[in-house]
Chains A and B, each alone.
Chain A
Amino acid sequence: MSTTTPTPPGPLVERPATLKAATLPRWSPLAVALGSAAVAVGIGLGAGLHSRIQWGLIAALLFIAGSYALAVAVEGTRQARDRLATSLVWVMFLLAVVPLASLIYETVQRGIKVFDVYFLTHSMGVLSDEETGGGIYHALIGTLQQVLLASVIAVPIGLLTAIYLVEYGRGKLSKVITFFVDVMTGIPSIVAGLFVLSFWILILGFGYSGWAGAMALAILMMPVIVRSTEEMLKLVPNELREASLALGVPKWRTILKVVLPTAIGGITTGVMLSVARIAGETAPVLLLVWVNPLINTNPFEGSQASLPLYVYQQYAAGTDASYDRAWAAALALIGFIMILNLAARGIARWKAPKTGR
């Protein structure tokens, strides 16, 4: 049904040298890409466009139009449309990589300026916004304590809920829980913060503290842990459970001694990813922990600081020195989260459950 072969079926002597329709060489997309990038730079320089975003857009448009026109000329419309879709998909992908690359590049480049041992081991103290110096020690302590407390609340509840859903739940209750866990994943972090604010601070009358922030973070953490643990428990082969039960081991010991150890790698990964997620949350911390430029090692009493909050606060201060500190703290935060992410994935690969029959 190919419409691209232009030669009509003629007598044998006129058979074309090849049955394949004309195709562009494999290097043609690369050539078009380079060509359009060069032209875009030329246009950008010639017209005096300052924004590099515009340069990129012009290059992308030129690339799409160029490869389409070339394909229409050589291969026909259907192939051309296919190439158009291919180049659009590639452009979409590059569009997504550009912000990530720019974000990481800018954070590292601007953050490295004041990022040193002094920055990591000193608090802000009574430093004013215009002064240089100061550090994130107090914020690091705050973040670590709040995340730890949140994990202490969320991990047991999350794990047990997942165990209930996978090992016990068959009735209506488990369906309801599954649905609300899914919905809970989408709760905006600020709403979790408002909830703890309304019941812990406004109604029960406690003050702002790291603990209050940790409770809100725990609410955000639970559904993530339930979901990932559930997936992992489902991967544990049923034969293991059956073998253990057949030996007369009670179900609860089967779960603790057979099912959980088998899935522990994946569960750890899920917990670490959820920690990485809440470590970067600013909104609930902003509402519940307040801001403290001094070191406070007691999360249950008095306001604390936290790393994301520190970035926000230094940004809001709006001086050159505070911008530098904000970027350096952002670098520390990204570094912390990326390390957690990489470690989590490493563990997942290292301890992957063996699902083979």
Chain B
Amino acid sequence: MDISSKTTARPPVDDVQPVAPVDKAAARGATRPGDRIFLGFSRGSGIALLAIMAAIAAFLTYRTALALADNTGNFLTTFEWDPAGSSTGGKPYFGIAVLVFGTVVSSVIALLIAVPVAIGIALFISHYAPRKLATPIAYVIDLLAAVPSIVYGLWGALVVAPNLTGLYSWLDDYFGWTGVFEYNGGAPRSLMTVGILLAIMILPIITNVSREVFLQVPKMHEEAALALGATRWEVIRMSVLPFGRSGIISASMLGLGRALGETIAVATVLSPSFLINASVLDYGGGTFAQNIASKFNEASEYGQDALIASGLVLFVITLLVNGAARLIIARRKEYSGANA
């Protein structure tokens, strides 16, 4: 891109005829027809991307407006999902209260499990693993990201869930009194199981982003700590973690974005219900994406509009979470660039 800066310093080659001076606009290359067409196409593609984002927001909002116009329940606080109006005599009655609860609870569980593990793995790759092992290990973590979510769902429903009854009974025995870990038997297809599965699924993205940040820590900081006699853990605690804090935060938010929108794995594992249950081990709750996937097949056109309305809420939430995460990362880039 810096065409002018370096080339001028070179000595001119003798046998090249001096070209006639051209005006500046032509020299910049944007006036040749080929250049103009090409620039038009590439700029057009970029604008097309923006247009798609705008169209997503516009169309979803339009269908949402159609759905909400006839809704007799309060969209935000209603606990039922009955757009066909089967229990209210044909009047649509639906709201997202349960979905908000289920989505938040399962994503928070996923984050609580995934963030410490991901930081551990990122540290392992950047500071602990033997040099030769670091690349293959990073590749193994990438493989976790490559597994399709439906396979996670199948595995979670048929392999993980049956193995969790023991753990849940144990939690119930010792922590059941808190109310959060009450378990009444039955197939463990609860928000907790979903949270565990989501944690595995968002592990790679949190690990990868944190690892990038940990590798950016100035070597001087670490060497200074080592020279003062710090152990490896003290180096990490004093120089790596403080430097990487904002990176960890934005990595977690990117993971949160993934967890909020995960559809098919949740739809496979969860036994949804439109009851809110204080215990995360028992049935209760659903998530936005899961509700759309499970209710879609039997929905009428109006029912589909109602699902689109809940999808719009999900879209806005993930947009905010992802946008915030990206802004934090972008600020970090400038900072570390000045530091290097």
- A residues sitting closer than 8 Å to B (CB atoms) are 1-2, 49-54, 78-79, 81-82, 84-86, 88-93, 95-97, 99-100, 102-103, 106-107, 156-161, 163-165, 167-169, 173-174, 176-177, 179-192, 194-195, 197-199, 202-203, 219, 222-223, 226, 238-239, 241-242, 245-246, 250-253, 255, 276-277, 279-283, 286-287, 308, 311-312, 315, 323, 326-327, 330, 333-334, 337-338, 341, 345
A81 CB to nearest B CB, Å: 6
B150 interfacial by beta-carbon distance below 8 Å:
yes
Q: Please provide the chain B residues from 1 to 53 with a CB less than 8 Å away from any CB of chain A in the complex.
A: 1-3, 6-7, 29-30, 32, 34-35, 37-39, 41-50, 52-53
Interface majority SS on A: helix, strand, loop or mixed? Answer: helix
CB atoms of A198 and B62 under 8 A apart: yes
Q: A82-B234, A186-B254, A187-B261 are in contact. List 5 more A-B contacts (CB 8 A).
A: A99-B200, A102-B159, A252-B37, A276-B146, A287-B292
B96 interfacial by beta-carbon distance below 8 Å:
no
CB atoms of B117 and A92 under 8 A apart: yes
| A-B contacts, CB under 8 A, total | 297
B199 CB to nearest A CB, Å: 9
Contact bitstring B258-290, A, C-beta under 8 A = 1, else 0:
101111100110000000000000000000010
CB atoms of A160 and B41 under 8 A apart: yes
- Separation of A95 and B30 alpha carbons in the complex (Å): 55
B19 CB to nearest A CB, Å: 8
- Which residues does chain B contribute within 8 Å of A197, judged by CB atoms? 304, 308
- Which residues does chain B contribute within 8 Å of A93, judged by CB atoms? 120-121, 124, 129, 137
- Which residues does chain A contribute within 8 Å of B292, judged by CB atoms? 190, 194, 283, 287
- Separation of A96 and B203 alpha carbons in the complex (Å): 8
- Which residues does chain A contribute within 8 Å of B314, judged by CB atoms? 188, 190-191
B157 interfacial by beta-carbon distance below 8 Å:
yes
Q: Which of A176, A242, A279, A341 contacts B7 (CB 8 A)?
A: A242
- Separation of A29 and B49 alpha carbons in the complex (Å): 53
With contacts A92-B124, A181-B49 taken as known, whether A341 is within 8 angstroms of B143 at the C-beta atoms is yes
* Complex A-B: 7 CB contacts under 8 Å: A81-B231, A160-B44, A173-B47, A188-B289, A255-B38, A286-B293, A315-B157
The 10 closest A-B pairs by CB, nearest first: A188-B261, A280-B148, A92-B120, A51-B166, A186-B322, A252-B38, A160-B45, A164-B42, A82-B231, A85-B233
Q: Which of A50, A173, A195, A311 contacts B46 (CB 8 A)?
A: A173
Nearest to B316 among chain A residues (CB) is: A191
Q: Which of A78, A185, A242 contacts B234 (CB 8 A)?
A: A78
CB atoms of B148 and A53 under 8 A apart: no
A46 CB to nearest B CB, Å: 15
Contact bitstring B55-80, A, C-beta under 8 A = 1, else 0:
11001101100000000000000000
A177 CB to nearest B CB, Å: 5
B154 interfacial by beta-carbon distance below 8 Å:
yes
B interface bracket (residues with beta carbon within 8 Å of A): 35 or more
CB atoms of B151 and A54 under 8 A apart: no
CB atoms of A177 and B50 under 8 A apart: yes
A107 CB to nearest B CB, Å: 7
B319 interfacial by beta-carbon distance below 8 Å:
yes
Nearest to A256 among chain B residues (CB) is: B38
CB atoms of B34 and A312 under 8 A apart: no
A50 CB to nearest B CB, Å: 6
B149 interfacial by beta-carbon distance below 8 Å:
yes
B297 CB to nearest A CB, Å: 8
B270 CB to nearest A CB, Å: 13
B164 interfacial by beta-carbon distance below 8 Å:
yes
- Which residues does chain B contribute within 8 Å of A281, judged by CB atoms? 148-149
Nearest to A182 among chain B residues (CB) is: B326
CB atoms of B120 and A88 under 8 A apart: yes
- Separation of A49 and B169 alpha carbons in the complex (Å): 12
- Which residues does chain A contribute within 8 Å of B3, judged by CB atoms? 241-242, 245
- Which residues does chain A contribute within 8 Å of B262, judged by CB atoms? 188
CB atoms of B49 and A89 under 8 A apart: no
CB atoms of B154 and A182 under 8 A apart: no
- Which residues does chain B contribute within 8 Å of A161, judged by CB atoms? 42, 45-46, 48-49
CB atoms of B293 and A250 under 8 A apart: no
B257 interfacial by beta-carbon distance below 8 Å:
yes
- Which residues does chain A contribute within 8 Å of B325, judged by CB atoms? 186
With contacts A283-B289, A311-B150 taken as known, whether A179 is within 8 angstroms of B326 at the C-beta atoms is yes
- Which residues does chain B contribute within 8 Å of A53, judged by CB atoms? 163-164, 166-167
With contacts A97-B140, A189-B263 taken as known, whether A107 is within 8 angstroms of B151 at the C-beta atoms is yes
